[in-house]
Amino acid sequence: MALLHWSPNLSVGIDFMDNDHKQLMLLINDLHHAVGGGSATEIVTEKMDKLIDFAQRHFTREEKEMEKSNYHWFEHHKRIHEALIEEIVELRQEFVTGGIEIGPETTDFLESWIVSHILESDKHLGGFLQGRSSR
C-alpha cells in the first residue's frame, strides 16, 4: 500500500510542478516500501539517492521560475528547499555510516513535509505564477 496518494487538492496549477510533485510522491513511496520491507542497506540508500537527486532537480526548476518571475518570497522558499535537502542528505549519511536506522518515522516526515510544502508554499507560488502568465 502506498504511503502517499495524489489528489486534485494538491495541484498547484502549474504542470511541471504538479508532475514533479507526483514523481516525488512515488519516490517517497518507493523508499517507504523499501524500509517497510526490510530491504538491504544498498537498496534503501539507492532509493534515498534517487529521492535526493530528483528533489534537487525539482527545486532547481522551481527556483528558476521564481527568479524569472521575480517572486517576492524567492529567498524564503529557496531556504526551505535547502533545509530539506540538507536534512535528507544528513539522514542518508548517518544511515550509510550506521549511525541511524531509516524507518517509518523518516518516511512519515517526508510525507508530512511534501504535503505541507505543497499546500503552504507551492500553492502560493503556483497562484503567483498563474497570475504572471495571464498578464
Q: What is the CA radius of gyration of the chain?
A: 16
**Structural domain total, the chain:** 1
Boundaries of domain holding 57: 25-33+51-130
- Residue range 1-20: mean pLDDT, rounded: 90
Could you tell me if residue 75 is inside a domain?
A: yes
Could you tell me if residue 63 is inside a domain?
A: yes
Could you tell me if residue 121 is inside a domain?
A: yes
Could you tell me if residue 38 is inside a domain?
A: no
Could you tell me if residue 43 is inside a domain?
A: no
- Residue range 15-21: mean pLDDT, rounded: 97
- Note the pLDDT of residue 125: 96
- Note the pLDDT of residue 1: 44
CA 135 → CA 16, 89, 129, distances in Å?
Answer: 20, 39, 10
Q: How confident is the model at residue 79 (pLDDT cuts 50, 70, 90)?
A: very high
Residue 68's CB is within 10 A of a number of other CB atoms, namely: 10
* Domain CATH number, residue 121: 1.20.120.50
Q: Output the pTM of the full model.
A: 0.91
Could you tell me if residue 19 is inside a domain?
A: no
- Note the pLDDT of residue 91: 92
Task: For residue range 24-45, list pLDDT tens digits in order.
Answer: 999 999 999 998 877 788 999 9
Q: Name the residue with cell 536506522.
A: 101
